Amino acid sequence: MKQLAQYQDGRLELQEVAVPVPPPGGILVRTTCTVISPGTEKMKVDQARMSLLEKARARPDQVRKVLDTVRTLGWKAALEKVRNRLESPTPLGYSAAGVVVAVDEANPRFRIGDRVACGGAECAHHAEMLGVPDLLAAKIPDGVEDWQAAYTTLASISLEGVRQSGVRLGERVLVIGQGLIGLLATSLLRSAGARVMATDLNEGRLQVATAMGAERVVTTGVENAVREWTDGVGVDAVLVCIGGKGGSVSQTVINCLRDRGTMVIVGMHDAELPWKTAYMKDITVKYSRSYGPGRYDPQYEWGGRDYPIGHVRWTENRNFEACLELMRTGQLDLKPVTTKRLSFGEITGAYDSLANDVGIVVNYAGMEQGAGGMESKPMAPASSRFASDSKLQAPCSLLDVVGAGNFARTMLLPHLKGKIAFGTIVNGTGLSARHVKEKFGFAEAETDASKATGGAVLIGTRHHLHAPQVISALKAGKQVFVEKPLCLTEAELAEIDAEMAQTAGSVMVGFNRRFAPAAIEMKKRLDAAPGVKSLAYHVCAGVLAPDHWYANVEESGGRVLGEACHMLDLACYLLGTPKRVSAQPLGPDTAAAQVEFENGHTFQLIYTAEGDSSFPKETLRAFAPGLILDCENFMKLSIWKSRKQQTLKYTSKGHAEEMHAWSSFLKGEAKHPLPYAQSRQSMALTFAVLRSIREARTVALER
């Protein structure tokens, strides 16, 4: 793997180094993004580029260590230590995000595939792979992108400074220094309900401070500005987010504080307090130590010994989680502070202009990365690889239909008639084609699918024909609707992936249940409920007649693939992204499955042919904190909340709504209602269920 190395003569190099291993109880992370800290890292780079005399003047503490070595080991040993120090490369970086690729057996919190934010100058470097202890990582919630999560460590420094200030709702705070830490502190204070005045000598940064929530900004005359802003009272707290030392800043802070106000030193500032004025105002002075309690405690960070929440409410790891949640809710907007984005291969050049930037995001996409000798290249998320069908399309004036059996004639075509012009109907026999033509008003009736030349096509054939017909239509750039399942094998899915990556067309799979009004109401209720959700879906499918075409697995793919994909898709619609599945057979072509989703959500499916036909075919129950939902055949939804029960009734299983949504897309009135990435996710989960049954093991899904 590659890692950024810094030498004490000022050189910066991207070097090929060995992949780290997960520390005891920790994880191995494939890096997706890091953030350069202009303050801390600029200081390190500037010091490295100094002459030996300048280094000695800048770091007298290191000079004292050398002199101690001279006294104990002699000049020769001391010089050898200095030489080794100057020749050894050191890492840079301490705020990162990535994906877990390996987990130590003693780690109870993380699993392979988890997205995590990582911190620590000892481990969260600018490198392709990171070995991170448990409590220096936090899971990234849905809705937070990796580039945002890469700010987590830096944001936690600012958050800890805010916590140390003890600021309460409505109080006034002065933030001195609007570098990255100061700007993040300004935003966090505003989110906490404080009123913020920001000061910096750089007027450009003050413009960013305004975007981050500062009520007032000032470059000079800070004391007078504070006096006017607070009606002579003074601010409740001052956060010092700058480096350096001396008494002038401290005097300004004291003059700006109200009686018994609080001074918090967040940056690497060596304060010199004038005794008289500090004493008379009875001020409180606090130093905010990095990301929070636990920092620099090896038993906490590397030993994994967390502090009890009843004694230490906000540890550094809990600060990580709090910052990620603020990102998720939009209360911490990182776009204004992100002044540059670059690839990992360009990182060395970024250190020549750190003074001109605030937040620099480094992206690792496209870099070759490996773990344990296995080389891998990160795959773009499906939502970006197959983005064409999420955009508005030019209106499509003519719809062809290939395969109009009983299902299509009764459940689909009636809801499309009159909404879009019908072109050619293609059916197995001329007789059936003619019938459908006359019934629905098609312009032409054919038995050869190549005669269908419209811009959109609805595919309602038997399952084994779906994939080749979809691929053919995509090659022609058509907008495609295909009944479920999309395909019968993972190889066919890969072929469709390849076409979707280059086609001007789109694919929508007939997963109608997610369009049912009852399902939409369930999603609304579940999304509004906090915490972890669990879902149980029971399907009494009934015994399959021996002569039913579903019994021919070569045509249908079987009931789990051909029917249970509906239930698995609904689970994805309600719960999000699946991570792993464990399944077992319940009999011929039936199954039970347990699916784990991101953020801990779970889904249980029982798809069985057993039972009694008088029982509802599909029942679905959802559990969330303070909420229970019970859905029966999508016709009745019972809601239990606040010790009250409410029952809603419906008349649709989603077919009409599904066809209305797709026809609106075809007419250019709306975006694609079910982008391919989502349908593909549901099909991938279905194939994972089948693999779990075949191989008798838990199967993880690729991101």
pLDDT of residue 681: 96
Question: Per the structure block, which two tokens stand in for 464?
Answer: 């084994």
What's the Cα-to-Cα distance from 339 to each of 348, 354, 576, rounded to whole Å?
17, 11, 32
CATH fold of 2-48+92-151+332-376 reads Quinone Oxidoreductase; Chain A, domain 1 (3.90.180)
Distance CA 227, CA 234 (A): 6
- Between CA 583 and CA 699 the distance in angstroms is 9
> 378 vs 163, 364, 366, CA distance in Å?
38, 9, 7
Q: Residue type at 111?
A: R
Kindly state the tokens that stand for 549.
């075409």
Sorted by sequence, the CB contacts under 8 Å of residue 247 that are 6+ apart come out as 272, 273, 274
Decide the pairing of beta strands 359-363 and 338-343: parallel
| Phi, psi values for residue 78, rounded to 5° | -65, -45
Residue 54: CB atoms within 10 A of its CB come to 12
Question: Beta strand 338-343 with 369-371: parallel, antiparallel or unpaired?
Answer: unpaired
Averaged pLDDT, groups of 10, the chain, 703 residues long: 86 87 92 92 75 68 68 64 71 96 91 94 94 97 96 98 96 96 97 96 94 96 96 96 88 96 92 88 94 93 94 97 97 95 93 86 73 38 54 77 90 93 90 88 90 93 95 96 96 96 95 97 96 96 86 89 96 96 90 94 96 91 97 96 95 94 94 95 96 93 81
Identical fold between 2-48+92-151+332-376 and 162-288: no
Residue identified by tokens 């953030």 is 35
Instruction: Give ∠ CA 651-560-660 in degrees, rounded to 5.
Output: 35
CA dihedral over 185, 187, 189, 194, signed as positive or negative:
positive
**Whole-number pLDDT of residue 80:** 66
Domain ranges of the chain: 2-48+92-151+332-376, 162-288, 385-511, 513-659+666-700
Distances (CA, A) of 478 to 420, 471, 666, 675: 15, 10, 11, 15
Sorted by sequence, the CB contacts under 8 Å of residue 201 that are 6+ apart come out as 219
Half-sphere exposure of 220 (CA within 13 A, CB side): 0
Q: What is the DSSP string of 465-481?
A: HHHHHHHHHHHTT-EEE
Which letter, b or e, does each residue of 165-201 get, where b requires 16 or more Cβ atoms within 10 Å of its Cβ?
bebeeebbbbbbbbbbbbbbbbbbbbbbebbbbbbbe
530 vs 149, 519, 599, 627, CA distance in Å? 21, 18, 11, 10
Give the SS3 label for residue 336: coil
pLDDT of residue 549: 84
Q: Taking a C-beta distance cutoff of 8 angstroms, is the pair 607, 539 a contact? A: yes
Cα separation of 515 and 519, whole Å? Answer: 7
Report how far Cα 601 is from the mean position of its chain's Cα atoms: 15
Nearest CA to 305 among 316, 321, 291? Answer: 316
Give me the long-range contacts of 592-598 (CB less than 8 A, separation at least 24).
593/564, 593/568, 593/689, 593/692, 595/568, 595/571, 595/685, 597/571, 598/142
Please name the fold of domain 162-288: Rossmann fold (3.40.50)
Task: Indicate the CATH number of 385-511 among 3.40.50.720, 2.30.29.30, 3.40.190.10, 3.50.50.60.
Answer: 3.40.50.720
DSSP string, 114-155: -EEEEE-TTT--SBSEEEE-GGGEEEPPTT--HHHHTTHHHH
Tokens representing 77? Answer: 């040993």
Q: Is omega for the bond preceding 485 within 30 degrees of 0, making it cis?
A: yes
CA dist 76 → 62, 71, 84, 270 (Å): 17, 11, 12, 34
Q: Which of these, 153, 187, 156, lies nearest to 173 by C-alpha position?
A: 187
pLDDT of residue 393: 63
Residue 239's pLDDT is what?
98
Q: What confidence score (pLDDT) does residue 377 get?
A: 37
DSSP string, 490-534: HHHHHHHHHHHTT-S-EEEE--GGGGSHHHHHHHHHHHHS-S--E
- Residue range 513-659+666-700 forms a domain whose CATH class is alpha beta
User: CA-to-CA distance for 644 and 624, rounded, in angstroms?
Assistant: 15
Task: Give residue for tokens 């983005």.
Answer: 387
User: In angstroms, rounded to a whole number, what is the distance separating the alpha carbons of residues 431 and 190?
Assistant: 71
Angle, vertex CA 249, rays to CA 244 and CA 251, nearest 5: 145
* Among 159, 336, 165, residue whose Cα is nearest residue 238: 165
**If you write DSSP's letter for every residue of 407-461 in order, what string do you get?**
HIIIIIHHHHTTTSEEEEEE-SSHHHHHHHHHHHT-SEEES-GGG--SSEEEE-S
88's tokens: 């050894």
Say if residues 28 and 101 touch (Cβ distance below 8 Å): yes
Residue 403 is predicted with a pLDDT of: 93
Return the pLDDT at 11.
85
Give the span between the Cα atoms of 240 and 40, in whole angstroms.
15
β-bridge partners, 216: 197
- What is the pLDDT, as a whole number, of residue 260? 96
Amino acid, single-letter form, for residue 248:
S
Q: How far apart are CA 428 and CA 449, in angstroms?
A: 10
State how far the Cα of 347 lies from the Cα of 601, in Å rounded to an integer. 38
CB 583 within 8 A of CB 562: no
pLDDT at 68: 66
This prediction has a pTM of 0.65
Q: What SS3 state is found at 547?
A: coil
Sign of torsion, CA 14 18 22 23? Answer: negative
For the chain, the farthest-separated pair of C-alpha atoms sits apart, in whole angstroms, at 104
What is the Cα–Cα distance from 546 to 529, expressed in whole angstroms?
45
Can you give the pLDDT at residue 357? 87
